[in-house]
Structure 1
């Protein structure tokens, strides 16, 4: 029986990347493609799922009659599942299948996979880039120089930033991304400290010091966030925690906006307690007009693009295609969000 696969791509994880990766794994698969317009058209809520693109009608029209869906942000809702009864596997090419109704998929016997770690290297590299940019005022001095203004006053002692060598840098979170950041910081000669009560002990070799959160905050001249968002970590860094940082410290967040109290951060920047901050993620995205962050001093901001590299898109396609290959061979899926659903169709060609 020929495996019928829909590759629902977008302008980042291209349908052509998904198709090629699937055919590398299952050469005799019948692959159809459809393209959504993200990121040119922002993702949003579609019926009951978040961070999805397209409409239910578009997905149903493209998906009906297929056994497998590989996608980044295509909406997989209860209605889509109900109207596409041939579907047996959804492989989402992102760190979590936010765009899939997992309970409905489980009830329908549809296994749902995702691609953990696809952007770990890219996000770690972006974290270091943001850190260096804010410590050495790169965007600010570029803006002056690009308009022909030669600002020698950036050599004044009080305007100079920090070197990473010898600087205490605290990491909140030490998973796939945080551990990579630690390795790069260690190579720079920074004093790396970690707070993560759930960290894998085998990864902690790149941290010179493992600390409780308050101790880490008191010692860190640079704080960088890498924790997952849970009920426990939501709003983890607020006014109290920022006050524990030494005066003149720096903050970097390329993880998730909800880890941080942004109004408290703006206040710390405007008071001078924080010397600078760099962000790729925010409490509300896009940043609302008039948000205090837009007028705060010495802030470097990028629009949630830490995971945007060609390598991420290619790697994501390979990860989900590998799941399609396992499925086609009747093997156990590697990154399945609802393993209880896998037995229903494991040997679907029997």
Structure 2
């Protein structure tokens, strides 16, 4: 019998041993149910703490639950791991010699040491697009909330019993509407393209800057970020966080926006220089911001953003939080495990 290639599953009889390391969003039970629709498997379930416990760096990986010990114990004898926040570090990989496949229930396997996985013969799959619709919808909701001052008016009336929010009906304080508004999108991937379609339906004048986008787009393609910023009353960010995009919107870029512009970020916090944004808000050059992601999460108690509540809509990284996302994430990951078990090429694999 020929030796299987590294990372491939050799022909064996009996069920595959899988660890479903879910959390309080992508439930282990959802992963197990999806797996059992794909293959014969023995599943050990593990519940990690996210989002009730924040993720963070763990050893050499980012955005993971601090649970190396629990994961190593659960993976004893397992060939497959399906997880969203499990820390797949060099230490975990080295302690789990039977492991051959990691399927991550996220748009990118940032919780996996890919180099170490390759050295240990472990394939790594992921679930792109699982939260694209939810994040796009949330982005539009945040944009509308910022433009029309919905949270501030709600806080005054429901929180304080005050009718002071009626002042937002004055010409000076009333908000903007999307129809005919120039809105610039930075990034046109799975989320950005959906946001563009939604905004076009509102009648907004959509412009897009994305040097990697190919084919037709909804809206006007703009050749440079600077041009987009100069022409946009609102910008909304949809780029991935990379070395190239970290700090993409800083003091210089914010200064290019027209006075009174609005900034929306439901992508990744470090795309924006948070201190520069606070400066622009305090100076009044940026009229409002809607933020779901931040330079540090959870947002530190001393953040300047908390002092700008009249101009900033803030949510705690909820853009991808829908029940449909949890189900889709489990299904996409389980389908990858099914392909691997049948010896078929994976659809979304990095190693």
Answer yes or no: same fold by TM over 0.5: yes
Contact map agreement 2:78 2:98 (CA 8 A) in 1: yes
| Counterparts of 2:111 and 2:242, CA distance in 1 | 18
> In the superposition, relative to structure 1, how do residues 47 and 244 fare at CA in structure 2: closer, same or farther (>3 Å)?
closer
- Map 1:45-56 onto structure 2 (within 5 A): 45-56=57-68
| Mean CA deviation greater in 32-41 or 118-127 | 32-41
| Counterparts of 1:229 and 1:280, CA distance in 2 | 15
| Counterparts of 1:79 and 1:91, CA distance in 2 | 18
| Counterparts of 2:279 and 2:33, CA distance in 1 | 49
Asked whether 1:201 is paired with 2:221, we answer no
* Residue from 3, 14, 17 that aligns with 2:30: 17
Q: Deviations for 1:179-202, whole angstroms, at most 9, x for unmatched residues? A: 000000000000000111111224
* Residue from 72, 77, 94 that aligns with 2:89: 77
1:273 counterpart residue number: 285
Q: What RMSD, in angstroms, separates the aligned Cα atoms of the two structures?
A: 1.2
**Residue 241 of structure 1: how far off its partner (Å):** 1.1
2:193 counterpart residue number: 179
**Residue 91 of structure 1: how far off its partner (Å):** 0.3
Asked whether 1:145 is paired with 2:164, we answer no
Asked whether 1:243 is paired with 2:255, we answer yes
> In the superposition, relative to structure 1, how do residues 142 and 57 fare at CA in structure 2: closer, same or farther (>3 Å)?
same
* Residue from 235, 238, 242 that aligns with 1:223: 235
Name stretches of at least 5 consecutive residues in structure 1 with no aligned partner: 339-350
2:6 counterpart residue number: none
Asked whether 1:104 is paired with 2:116, we answer yes
1:342 counterpart residue number: none
Contact map agreement 1:193 1:216 (CA 8 A) in 2: yes
| Mean CA deviation greater in 213-222 or 179-188 | 213-222
Asked whether 1:62 is paired with 2:74, we answer yes
Secondary structure in structure 2 of the residue aligned to 1:231: coil
**Residue 209 of structure 1: how far off its partner (Å):** 3.9
Contact map agreement 1:170 1:224 (CA 8 A) in 2: yes
1:320 counterpart residue number: 333
Contact map agreement 2:64 2:87 (CA 8 A) in 1: yes
TM-score normalised over the length of structure 2? 0.93
**Residue 97 of structure 1: how far off its partner (Å):** 1.2
Contact map agreement 2:168 2:175 (CA 8 A) in 1: no
| Counterparts of 2:26 and 2:110, CA distance in 1 | 16
| Counterparts of 2:253 and 2:63, CA distance in 1 | 30
Contact map agreement 1:256 1:282 (CA 8 A) in 2: yes
2:7 counterpart residue number: none
* Residue from 319, 323, 339 that aligns with 1:306: 319
**Residue 156 of structure 1: how far off its partner (Å):** 0.8
* Residue from 163, 173, 183 that aligns with 2:177: 163
> In the superposition, relative to structure 1, how do residues 51 and 209 fare at CA in structure 2: closer, same or farther (>3 Å)?
closer
Equivalent pairs counted in the alignment come to 335
Secondary structure in structure 1 of the residue aligned to 2:162: coil
TM-score normalised over the length of structure 1? 0.93
Secondary structure in structure 1 of the residue aligned to 2:36: helix
Q: Deviations for 1:262-290, whole angstroms, at most 9, x for unmatched residues? A: 11111111111111110001111111222
Secondary structure in structure 2 of the residue aligned to 1:32: strand
Contact map agreement 1:193 1:211 (CA 8 A) in 2: no
Misfit runs of 4+, over 6 Å: none
Asked whether 1:6 is paired with 2:19, we answer yes
Q: Deviations for 1:9-42, whole angstroms, at most 9, x for unmatched residues? A: 110100000000000111x211221111211122
Asked whether 1:192 is paired with 2:206, we answer yes
| Counterparts of 1:240 and 1:76, CA distance in 2 | 38
**Residue 47 of structure 1: how far off its partner (Å):** 2.5
Name stretches of at least 5 consecutive residues in structure 2 with no aligned partner: 1-12
- Map 1:34-53 onto structure 2 (within 5 A): 34-53=46-65
* Residue from 129, 134, 154 that aligns with 2:168: 154
| Counterparts of 1:79 and 1:155, CA distance in 2 | 59
